[in-house]
Amino acid sequence: MKKAERSKLFSATVMAGMLALSVTTGLRDVHADMSGYAAQTASTVGGFGGNTTGGSQATAAHTYTVTDRASLLKALGGENNATPKIIYVSGKIDMNVNDQGQTLTAADYAQGTGYNFERYLAAYAPSTWGKKKLSGVQEADRLQAQKNQAAQVVVKVPANTTIIGEPGAQFIGGNLVIQKGNVIVRNLYFETPYDDFPQWDPTDESTGNWNSQYDAISVQGASNVWLDHNTFDDGTHPDAQNGTYYGREYQHHDGDTDFTNGANNITVSDNIYRNHDKTMLIGNSDTKTTDAGKLHVTVTHNLFENTVQRTPRVRYGEVQVVNNLYQNDGTSSYKFKYAWGLGKNAQIAAQNNVLNIANASAPDIISKLKGTQLSDSGTQFNGASVSASTLSHTAPITWQPTAPAILTPTNQVQATVMSQAGADVLK
C-alpha cells in the first residue's frame, strides 16, 4: 500500500472511532461510501455494537503492519495490552507455520505426547466403552496434543484493538480469541482453523459425536465488538474430507464466529460465511443463566452461502437478524439444516431476510432447540413472502428492537449483499 493511501486510511480510522461514539443501537449505514479502500474504516458501525471504537485512538507509534504470526503477536503486545492499536495484516498469515518458517503438522503437535489415533479408536469404541465420560491414557495424550496445537494457533486479542486486512490479506488456521472489550476486525479472509485432534464425546446426543476446538473468531465475555467485511470458509479442509468413525463424522471444525460467556453489544455486518457447518453460536450452554441480559448481537447484511446451521443459533440473547442473504442450491456437500436456532430463552427479531434454499421448505428456516420466541417480518423464502414465526408457531419476542436507521427493502437485499459483503470489497 502506498504511503499516501496508508495515511488516508489511518485518518479515516480515527474519524470512524469518533463517529461511532454517538451511535445508538439502531442499525446505521455501514454500506454508504464504498468507493476507495479508506472507506473500510470510515463507515460507521451500527447495531448493538454501535459504541465500538477499537484502536481508533492509536498513535502512529502504535500502528503496525504484520506479515506473520510472530509480528502479529508482537503488535498485539499480550492479552492485557490495552493501549489503542491499529494492526494492518499484509499477505497471508498461516498460524500453523512456526517462527522458523516450518509448517507444523499433527505429527509435530503429537510428538512426545504418546497420542496414537488407532489406539484412541480402540480404547473408546462405543461397543466396549459405552456412554460414560472419557478417561484414561489415550484421552490424556490426545488432550496434550490438542494443547500443543492451541499454543500455536490461538491468539488472544487485547482491548482497544483494530485489526484490518490490506487487500488480499488472509488469516489461515488461527483462532482469534476476544476476551477484552472494544475490538474491531475487518477485511480479512479467514480459513477456519482445523483441529488435528477431535475428541469423541459419547454423551453428545444419543449416539455420541466428534467435537473440535477453535473458531475463526471467539468472543468470550467481551463487550463492544464489530466484525465487518470478512470472509469465512473451510478453505482447503472441507468437511467432505473428514471421514467417519464410530458411525459419526470426524469433525475437525468448530464455529466460524461464536459469542459466549456473557459477550455483549456486538455487530456482525457485511461478512461472507461460506461452506461451513456450525456457523455462528450465540450462547453456549443452557445452564449459563448469567448470560441473561447479555448477548445483545446484531447480525446484518451478511451472506450465508452453503452453511448448514447456526446462522445464528441463540441461547438467552436478544438478537437482531436483519437484511441477511442465505443461499444453498443443494449441490454443495454442506446440506442446509436450518437458519435460525432458538435455544433456551433466546429472542430473535428478524427483518427483511432472503433465503434461497433448494430441497427445503419454509418451516425449515427455524429450529426450536428449547426456545420459542421469534418475531419476523419481510422474510422471503425461495421467492415467496412468508412468515417464519407463523409457520413454526413461535411466540412473539418481549423486547422492543430499536428501529434500524437504514433498513434495506427485501426486494433489494440479494443485490445489496451480493455486491457489498465479504473481504476485499472495499479496495
Cα(25)–Cα(296) distance, integer angstroms = 10
Dihedral sign, CA of 104, 107, 111, 116? positive
End-to-end alpha carbon distance in the chain: 11
Please enumerate in sequence order all residues whose Cβ is within 8 A of that of 1, keeping only pairs 6 or more positions apart, or say none. 9, 37, 88, 90, 166, 167
Choose, from 69, 274, 310, 313, the residue flagged as catalytic: 310
DSSP, residue by residue, 76-134? HT-TT--S-EEEEE-SEEETTB-TTSPBP-HHHHHTTT---HHHHHHHT-HHHHTTSPP
Cα(380)–Cα(354) distance, integer angstroms = 5
Strand partners, 186: 164, 228
Extract the C-alpha cell encoding 241.
Answer: 474430507
The residue type at 353: N
Strand partners, 244: 249
Is 310 a known active-site residue? yes
The residue type at 112: G
Residue 86 near residue 62 (C-beta atoms within 8 A): yes
Active site residues: 310
